[in-house]
Amino acid sequence: MGYNLLRKFMSFSYGSLIALVIGFLGTMITTRILIPEDFGKASMFTLVLNISMIFVLLGTDQSFVRFFYEENEEKRGGLLYSCLKITLVMAVLVSVFIVIFRETISFFLFEETNLIALVMLIFGMLAQTLYRYGRLVIRMQQNGHVYSIIEIINKSLSLLVLIGLYFLMGASYEIIIYSSVISLMALAMFAIVYGKKYWNPKNLYLTELAHSNKDIIRYGYPLVLTMSITWLFQSFDKIALKHWSTLGELGLYAAAFKIIALVNVGQTSFSTFWAPVCYEQFEKDPNNRDFYGNMSKIVSFSMFFIAILCIAGKDIIGLLLGRNYREASDIMPFLAFMPILYTISETTVIGINFYKKPKWHILIASVSCIVNILGNWVLVPKYGAVGAAISTAFAYIVFFSLRTQISLLYFKVNYGLKKTYFMLALISLYALYSVITSNLYLNLLSGLGVIFIMIFIYKKDLIKGYAYIKSKKSVMDHKM
């Protein structure tokens, strides 16, 4: 099983690695095209699109993931349409809200009236909805190769459309908005065509499903509050910068966030791979705790390694972004905590999800959100974007801790938490040092030292994991 698991993860991951390179190239081009103020406006559009999707989806996407394996295989297309019908009704309601308050929303986003951009917001919601479910179908089939291809197409298409629009329209924040929506529409069509078995209109009329619309809403609706609070938790830094600082600072923060978002590609790939695998494993053998503990330790090592690389290479990345965005390099070290801790927590939160206790997520998101709001309130007025990044990092440590400890109440697993917290403390000190020092070589040397310490700490876990995968590969080769 270990060898198959590695192969499956690699099938989900190679597209993310290629997309990461393309995405980094796209960010370098974008920061040379747009001034920080325009970058800030584009980031506000993305912010509102994401909050809109929370209410449009109404948690039905999570219901689809949770009930997929419990539904009869030939009726899973019916489950898809049951979820989608609820989503489309919500999309209409949210669109009406945007139309009614168009002037207020436009000024909040762009500090000017831009009705065309709001039309793109509505189209973006529809495209994002279809794309979301299209990806979920691929994800739940555990088809990593197709998922990777979509990741590559996503980044490539966005970059090509952005460059094309630049030559047509010039340098303005609208080109990021238009390229994002156009890419989403194309990707949604691709995902639907690939998963045509599930998207067949005949599935609309399937009856006697294992889960009714009421079941879908009952499981999903508590997550709306959770996701709303989570959105506020994840996005208050940008709101705080817009309110207590300037669009220029927001633009620098958004540029640094864009680089860290490339790590999010890996986070998303892992989450996409992990959710169906862990649910399937739990259905087969609910008493196998070692599987989850070993996976968590390997993921922790990998994520910490990525965090150290991000911090060590911050000055090099700052040079690549261009003169106007050079200061973004000092924001990156603490922003790296966000995708890193979220990914690790995906392996430690499983107890809450296995035993269907979604209301705990409300408490977790609420506490983390309050911590982030207080942190931004204290730090942003004085330290600007760097203060927002520090506040976000600390809030994510709280987020990870709550997810893990509450999960352990239901599902006891040895996650090696002493090692995890030691590395968090060490990397926090390194991130702080990297912001203070201006010496590139000392920063790189310090990062190398932190990596050696981490390898020493996780040495036994890595050897154990390698031996486990190798033994499973030998079994597979013998069978073949």
- Give 266-285 pLDDT, tens digit per residue: 666 676 667 667 777 777 77
Higher per-residue pLDDT: 248 or 295: 295
pLDDT score of 11 = 56
Q: What is the mean pLDDT of residues 157-184?
A: 88
Q: What is the mean pLDDT of residues 231-252?
A: 73
Q: Is the pLDDT of residue 389 over 70?
A: yes
Tokens representing 321? Answer: 């972004």
pLDDT score of 153 = 84
Q: How confident is the model at residue 403 (pLDDT cuts 50, 70, 90)?
A: very high
Q: Is the pLDDT of residue 211 over 90?
A: no
Token pair 């529809």: residue: 126
- How far apart CA 320 and CA 56 sit, in angstroms, is 38
pLDDT score of 230 = 73
As to burial, measured by CB atoms within 10 angstroms (0-12 exposed, 13-18 middle, 19+ buried), residue 287 is exposed
pLDDT score of 475 = 38
User: For residue 419, which of 327, 328, 321, 304 has the smallest C-alpha distance?
Assistant: 304
- Rounded to a whole number, what is the distance in angstroms from the first to the last CA of the chain? 14
Q: What are phi and psi for residue 141, nearest 5 degrees?
A: -80, -5
Q: How confident is the model at residue 261 (pLDDT cuts 50, 70, 90)?
A: low
pTM: 0.69
pLDDT score of 315 = 76
Higher per-residue pLDDT: 101 or 257: 101
The neighbour count for residue 311, using CB atoms within 10 Å, is 24
pLDDT score of 1 = 47
- Spell out the SS3 assignment of 235-282: HHHHHHHHHHCCHHHHHHHHHHHHHHHHHHHHHHHHHHHHHHHHHHHH
Q: What is the mean pLDDT of residues 32-41?
A: 77
Strands (E), 326-394: none
Q: What's the chain's average pLDDT?
A: 80
- How far apart CA 223 and CA 77 sit, in angstroms, is 23
Rg (CA), the chain: 22
Percent of the chain with pLDDT over 70: 84
Q: Is the pLDDT of residue 341 over 70?
A: yes
Q: How confident is the model at residue 15 (pLDDT cuts 50, 70, 90)?
A: low
Say if residues 175 and 160 touch (Cβ distance below 8 Å). no
Higher per-residue pLDDT: 65 or 93: 93
Q: How confident is the model at residue 326 (pLDDT cuts 50, 70, 90)?
A: low
Q: What is the mean pLDDT of residues 318-330?
A: 69
Say if residues 350 and 408 touch (Cβ distance below 8 Å). no
Q: How confident is the model at residue 473 (pLDDT cuts 50, 70, 90)?
A: very low
As to burial, measured by CB atoms within 10 angstroms (0-12 exposed, 13-18 middle, 19+ buried), residue 201 is exposed
Lowest mean pLDDT across 99-108, 137-146, 401-410: 137-146
Lowest mean pLDDT across 10-14, 138-142, 220-224: 10-14
pLDDT score of 477 = 43
- Give 414-462 pLDDT, tens digit per residue: 888 899 999 999 999 999 898 887 777 888 899 999 999 999 998 887 7
pLDDT score of 480 = 39
- Give 78-89 pLDDT, tens digit per residue: 778 888 888 989
Q: Is the pLDDT of residue 352 over 90?
A: no
For the residues of 423-476, what is the DSSP string, one character each? HHHHHHHHHHHHHH---HHHHHHHHHHHHHHHHHHHHHHHHHHHHHHHHHHHHH
- How far apart CA 446 and CA 451 sit, in angstroms, is 9
Higher per-residue pLDDT: 458 or 226: 458
